Chains A and B, each alone.
Chain A
C-alpha cells in the first residue's frame, strides 16, 4: 500500500505523537494545577469606584486541576486582603463566599460556587480534568496613589490518599 518513504514518514509521526503524548498522559497520574489565566484588572484609575458603583471586579482567574479520575482532593485558597503599593499604600481586595466556583465539565456554563477560603472536597472527574474559577473585587480610592501594587494568591491542592 505505502512506499518505504511514506512508511518511514508515518512511523516517524507516530513516534513523535507517542513521545509528545507521554508527558501529557503521565501528568494524569499525579495531581497537578495549571494557571490557565491569572486574576487581573484591565485598567485601574483613581476614582473608579464612582464609575463602577463601589468596586472593580477582577477578570476571572482560571485554574486547571489534573489528576487520576476518582481521586479525592481538597482545594482552597489563601487570599490577600489588599494589594501592597508604593510608600505603604494599599488597594483593598474583597472575596466573598461565592467568589470561587468549579466545573467538572470543563465549561463556564455549569459552575458550582464555593467559598475559596474553606477547604472543599472534590473528586477528579472521569475526564481527569476540572476547572476552578476565582474572581474578586478591588476598591480604588478617589486619591489612590499611582504605581505598582502587588498581591499573592496561594492555591492549596491536597491529594487525599
Chain B
C-alpha cells in the first residue's frame, strides 16, 4: 500500500476520512487563494507606480549616505527620475495641509536640498524588477547640529498608451503619463531634539460636526512628526468622539479637524487635544522621542 496519505490518523482506503481530508484541504486552499486575490487585486492595475521603501529615508551625519529600494510591481518597464525638491507642510487659511515648495529655502530653514545627490538619478526598472538608489550627502563644513531635510520627487514615466485606428489614413493618439510622487529625506547631525506646543484652540459646532482649529508650533532643531488626537470627553471623562490626525510640524501651523457629533447629545464637554510623537506610517527611528503636549478646552454642544 502506498504511504501517501492526506490524514495519517486514517489509513488510505478509509474512504470517508480521506474524502473529508481532501474536502478540508480544498476548502482551505480556496480560502487562502481568495484571500490572496483580495490582497493583490487592488494593485493589479494596468500600469503600476513604483514602490518606494522606506517611505521616509533617514541619513545619519556619521554615515552621510543612505539608500532607497525602488520596486516595479508592474509587467512593463518604468523610467524613473529622482530630483531633490525643497518643501515643507503648511496650513492654509482653511486649515488644510499643503506642501510649500519655494524655489529658494527661506533663511533659517534646515534645507538639505543643495547637498544631497541620488545615484543613479535616472534609471529604468524592468518589469517586476528592483533597483537600489543611493544617496550621498556632501554637507557644508559649517553645518550645525539638527535635522536637515529635503523632499525626493520620484517621477515614474509610463509607456504611451496608443489608441486609434491602424489605418494609415486614421488619426492615432497616444498619451504618455508621468506620475511624480514626493517623499522625504531627513539628515540628522549631532544632538537632535524635537518638541511641539499646542495652543489657541477654537471650536465651533456646525450641524453634526465639531470644527476645531489649533496652533501647533515646533521646537528644538528637528521637525515634530507625530499624531494629534482630538478627544471629546463628557463630564465623567469618557470619550464620546475621537479623531487622530497625523501631522508633520516644520513651521507653525494651524490645522483644522472635524469631529462627528452624530451620536453626541447636547451638553457640556471638554475637548482634549494631545500631540504625541507616534506615527503608524513612518518607520521606527524616524520618530524622535518627544514629550507629548496637551491642551484641554471646554465645549458646549447646544441642542440641534
Contact = CB atoms under 8 A, between A and B. Distances in A.
Interface of A: 1-6, 9-10, 13-14, 16-17, 20-21, 23-27, 29-46, 59, 61, 63-64, 66-68, 70-72, 74, 83, 85, 91, 119, 121, 129, 138, 140, 144-161
A142 to B, nearest CB: 12
Given A41-B164, A150-B160, A157-B179, A1 B171 contact: no
Given A35-B48, A43-B170, A149-B173, 19 more contacts: A1-B24, A6-B7, A6-B24, A25-B39, A35-B46, A35-B179, A38-B161, A42-B163, A43-B164, A61-B175, A63-B179, A70-B246, A85-B171, A146-B171, A159-B181, A159-B183, A160-B98, A161-B225, A161-B247
Contacts of B6: 2-3, 5-6
B203 interface: no
B76 to A, nearest CB: 11
Interface string B42-60: 1101111111111100000
Q: How large is the interface on B (under 10, 10 to 19, 20 to 34, 35 or more residues)?
A: 35 or more
Contacts of B121: none
Contact of B29 (A13, A68, A146, A161): A13
Interface of B: 4-9, 21, 24-25, 28-29, 32-33, 35-36, 39-40, 42-43, 45-55, 71, 73, 87, 89, 96-99, 155-156, 158, 160-161, 163-165, 168-184, 225, 244-248, 280-281
A52 to B, nearest CB: 14
B182 A2 contact: no
Contacts of A24: 39-40, 42-43
